[in-house]
Amino acid sequence: MTKRYISIYFLLLIVGVLNCSKDSITNSKAVTPEDILTKDDEISGWKRSGESWTANSSGELNTYIDGEEPVYTRNGFIEAAMQKYEGNVLNNNVTVEQRVFDQGSSENAASLFDEMILDLVNPIDWSSGAGDAAKIERLSMSQKILFRKSNYFVSLTITSHLDEALDVLKTFAINIDSKIE
């Protein structure tokens, strides 16, 4: 009788261990905007530089994006992170800025995306690109990609108008996209 209880105990112990292992693998995806940001040299030749921030309240967000905060708050803002990167495009030093916003739900992220694209000049649809929806803005001195995926809204800007710079920005967007479930 004792052997039977010991066998059942070990069986339950093994099942418990296997379930714990499964949970730790399943939950290994990014959980905060800061986790989603590109790491140094994750994209070859691009390193974090200068300014960065995280915001966990609308008050903190307002400190960093003065005047823009209400649209994020109105659409369910939870937290955000921003990081700048330095790199080179055709022997020109350029900067990429990433902003990742957790809006709490896919509906909130979609609503925010719909509002933000209204401010883009001649937006180009990037349906084969990052996220569930993406738009590109090309200006004379910079370019921007906005996209949404799951409960995240992402804004990326590069300080160059070159086609090669847009390719770099797309690489950053796809990198971020791959970290969001």
- The CATH number of residue 62's host domain is 3.40.1000.70
Together in a domain, 38 and 22: no
Judge if 69 and 107 occupy the same domain. yes
pTM score > 0.75 for this model? yes
- pLDDT score of 88 more than 60: yes
Same domain, 16 and 37: no
Please indicate, yes or no, whether residues 81 and 169 belong to a single structural domain of this protein.
yes
Strands (DSSP E) found in the chain: 47-55, 79-89, 92-102, 124-125, 133-138, 143-149, 152-158
User: By residue range, what is the domain housing residue 9?
Assistant: 1-29
Indicate whether 60 and 131 sit together in one domain.
yes
Q: Rounded distance, CA 172 to CA 126, Å?
A: 14
Cα 56 to Cα 102: distance, rounded to the nearest angstrom? 10
Question: What average pLDDT score do residues 74-84 get?
Answer: 97
Q: Give whole-number Cα distances, 175 to 33, 37, 123, in Å.
A: 13, 9, 21
Region 76-96: what's the mean pLDDT?
Answer: 97
Read off the tokens for 153.
Answer: 């809204």
**Is residue 12 located within the same domain as residue 78?**
no
Q: List the single range of 33-37, 111-115, 125-129, 131-135 with lowest mean pLDDT.
A: 125-129
| pLDDT surpassing 70 at residue 26 | no
Q: What is the pLDDT of residue 2?
A: 54
64 and 7 share a domain?
no
Question: Do 11 and 72 sit in the same domain of this protein?
Answer: no
Is residue 39 domain-shared with residue 14, that is, in the same domain? no
> Does residue 91 surpass a pLDDT of 90?
yes
Q: Are residues 5 and 92 in the same domain?
A: no
Same-domain check for residues 87 and 8: no
